[in-house]
Structure 1
Amino acid sequence: MRPAFVLLLIGCLFATPALAEPSQSKSPFHGVWNGSIGKLSIRACFNDDIEGRRSASYYYHRHLIPIELRAEGDSATNTSATWREADGILQIESTSSDQIKGTWRSTDDSRKLAVQLTRVALSAADSADGMNPCGSNAYNEAIVASVKTIHGPVVSVGNVKYRIVTDALPSGRGSDYKGRQQYWETIELLGNNSAIAAINKSIRERIEKQGQMGLSCRSIAMNDTAGEGIDFQEVGVAVVGRWISVTRQSVVDCRQSSIHLSERTYTWDLTTGKQESLFSWIKGAEAVNDGDHLLTEGKLPDALDNFIASRFGQGDPGVHLSMDDLERCYGQHQPGSYSYQLKLASDGIVFEIPTTSNGSCGEAFKLSWKELKPFLNRKGRQFAAEIQSLQRAKR
């Protein structure tokens, strides 16, 4: 069975934002359609946006690569409409409740093919409020079935074993990225206890949440514009005492927008399976939990923030930013003005100022347990002592 998180993630990528039902009636094209262009079978979808804008795509069953269609003029009420793609024009000439007929022609008019489509009945889940046809199972089922899941070799970190699991979609089109695959990479911990099962479930939920970033892409992953899409990749796994940290990097490339880079580190307790927020170890710290950052980013108390700020502009210039560069990237520092991400280390905690979305700036400082002691609460001091005790036992 195809993993559920892959299906949800693909739905996120192929959907357009749907915060509410459109105030006007849906266009006659709205829905999922099956049929043909010439002799080749296709599946198509047409979306109604909340402001009356339309978007659509289709794919040939033999290729399974979505091709974006862009509407020309007002297709909200007309039974005929013109839709453009990179190298062709789809002219819808007649529409009924369950049939579309039209013509596809190449932009140079060298080819002309008949188009015939029949509406596909949607399931209750696909018909739910807020679900756009291009994000539905009915549209994506053939693409989901084509996803290749690759299990990497077993890796050991301390007493923990895991493997990388990669789900890859078929290669997209485009002269610059020909053969490039869209992929999502996550880890799977190996073991049969309830804590491991809970962490694996949480890891899958994280990639589902991050998949929602694809909603900002108005185009479809792997469409006719080279390189567009969204990738997730695990770039680091660390075990410190009874905690495991997984660092995930995402790259979102949307048409008419800059590439967005993001890196997040998530920490779990291997004995309970619960996610651990390192902010809860620090007096007066406050983590963000808005459904995206998921306890990985937050604000520090002024005293600790100022202590870290005292190191700004210092150290190896090949590693750390100068004060000028820091302020250029993040603005002038004031207590509480910077957000931080925290990473657990055996000898302390790393405080990272998040990498800018274009990847040009980033900064990090590690404080030892001794330096952190005045800022830790009772829970933080207890866990710090536990980690230090384990480190001494290994010597």
Structure 2
Amino acid sequence: MYTRFIPYILLALLTNLALPVFADDELTGVWQGTLGKSNIRVCFNEYGTGSYYYQRYLTPIRLEQVDNHWQEDKQTGFWQFDSINEQQLVGLWSNQEWSKTEPSKDNGTSPKGQQGKSLAIILERQISPDSINDCSSDAYNLPLETAPKLKRGKWQPFDNADSQQANSNKANANPISYRQLSYGTELGLELKGKQTGIPAINQWLKQKLTSEQLLAETFETRRDMLARVGHAIADETGAEIDFINQHWLSVRFYRWAAGYGAGGISRTYTSFNLSDGKPFNPWQWFRDDVALDEMQHQLPDALREKLFADMQVYEDCDNSDGSGYFYLTLTPKGIELWETPNGRGCENEFTLSPTDAMPFATEFGKSQLKLME
């Protein structure tokens, strides 16, 4: 894990302070033309970043302004423009870095060394239909925004030795296998087993993974990051089995929002009944006002008083009275209540056996907790 956006912020600040910036009508915007014999589309942001893609590949490559030239991400190519006006850019691409000290015959600069490969760049300005003049524009992004293909990984058994299944002979008699699904930058799961609810669970998981809303959000994130730093960055995602017994299965979904540090990390959990495949939220065993997608709640008053009756109060912690918001997840020992780690050491965590949790559950919750005993 790493703080994903901070390096780009620093890069942008350094770019703004140290590099010359072309006027909007000279360079900023979307361009289309050729690099050698290949058709490309290019965008430039206002402050020294950009992106381009080959129209037959549609994979954006970041551009960064460095001194008197532009260089591609990982320095796979170097660009320099000899002629710039409002409607046309003419220049040269090289696979070697441009030197300031080797003047060329056309009053430009030449690549270092004598063995480099060079290709002509000829670009014409494109007007975006949404009137946006940077790398987030329709003119640059619409060709990229096609529905991805659903890809499936290899089947693999869920490791009973490290799982909750190891505690139940009944669960071991009906093992579950899984494989990873990918849909563009989103990751999901598909399950295989004899449990009657598996087909319905798979349908739910697939609909979540391939939803139109989620795809639209992915495209919007990519546009935002292209405009900020020139990178086609998307959220980092994941999905994995978190809990299994003979009755239920829980899946943990992970997301690290592009452009944010640790504050952009989120986790959600969805549990399923293995008999009918219907999703549920274990918080519903203790509260009547809980929606399926509401992951964190305050503790019921009676449970909070029980858990925090003898809790030591620390001056530096503002949640020593149990008034914070807790996740509730299923474990082999019962239920776990925990707060999101914040690095201060103030977060609380409790594990309750089904018997210990029973007095605080609703009538429906008590019927479910009995199944865990």
Q: TM-score range by the shorter chain?
A: 0.5 to 0.7
CA distance in 1, matches of 2:372, 2:151: 40
CA apart distance, 1:254: 2.3
How big is each residue's C-alpha offset from its partner over 1:68-114, in whole Å with a ceiling of 9 and x where there is no partner?
A: 4689xxxxxxxxxx99976766877344xxxx755466775546842
Match of 1:245 among 229, 246, 250: 250
Match of 1:341 among 323, 327, 340: 327
Match of 1:150 among 149, 153, 157: 153
Structure with bigger gyration radius: 2
Aligned letter for 2:38?
L
Counterpart secondary structure, 1:245: strand
Match of 2:60 among 63, 66, 69: 66
Q: Contact 1:164–1:185 (CA<8 Å) still a contact in 2?
A: no
Aligned letter for 1:355?
P
CA apart distance, 1:376: 0.6
Q: What TM-score does the superposition give when structure 1 sets the normalisation length? A: 0.56
Q: Contact 2:51–2:230 (CA<8 Å) still a contact in 1?
A: no
CA distance in 1, matches of 2:28, 2:364: 54
CA distance in 2, matches of 1:132, 1:385: 56
How big is each residue's C-alpha offset from its partner over 1:173-221, in whole Å with a ceiling of 9 and x where there is no partner?
A: xxxxxxxxxx644220125988433322332344467774885674259
Q: Does 1:265 align with 2:269?
A: yes
Q: Does 1:350 align with 2:336?
A: yes
CA apart distance, 1:370: 2.0
Hey, what does 1:78 align to over in structure 2? none
Aligned letter for 2:335?
I
Aligned letter for 1:332?
N
Hey, what does 2:237 align to over in structure 1? 232
Hey, what does 1:372 align to over in structure 2? 357
How big is each residue's C-alpha offset from its partner over 1:194-252, in whole Å with a ceiling of 9 and x where there is no partner?
A: 8433322332344467774885674259x877x96532223443223421101233334
Listed as ranges, the matches of 1:195-234 within 5 Å are 195-207=197-209, 212=217, 215=220, 218-220=224-226, 229-234=234-239
Q: Contact 1:288–1:295 (CA<8 Å) still a contact in 2?
A: yes
Aligned letter for 2:143?
A
CA distance in 1, matches of 2:158, 2:360: 35
Aligned letter for 2:370?
A
Match of 2:37 among 36, 39, 43: 39
Tell me the number of residue pairs that the alignment of Structure 1 and Structure 2 aligns.
Answer: 299
CA distance in 2, matches of 1:90, 1:107: 8
Q: What TM-score does the superposition give when structure 2 sets the normalisation length? A: 0.59
CA apart distance, 1:366: 0.9
Hey, what does 1:383 align to over in structure 2? 368
How many percent identity over aligned positions? 20
Q: Contact 2:237–2:254 (CA<8 Å) still a contact in 1?
A: yes
Query: CA separation of 1:245/1:132 partners in 2, compared to 1, >3 Å: closer, same or farther?
Result: farther
Structure 2 unaligned residues grouped into runs of 5+: 1-24, 100-108, 112-118, 130-135, 160-164, 166-170
Query: CA separation of 1:346/1:154 partners in 2, compared to 1, >3 Å: closer, same or farther?
Result: closer
Counterpart secondary structure, 2:279: coil
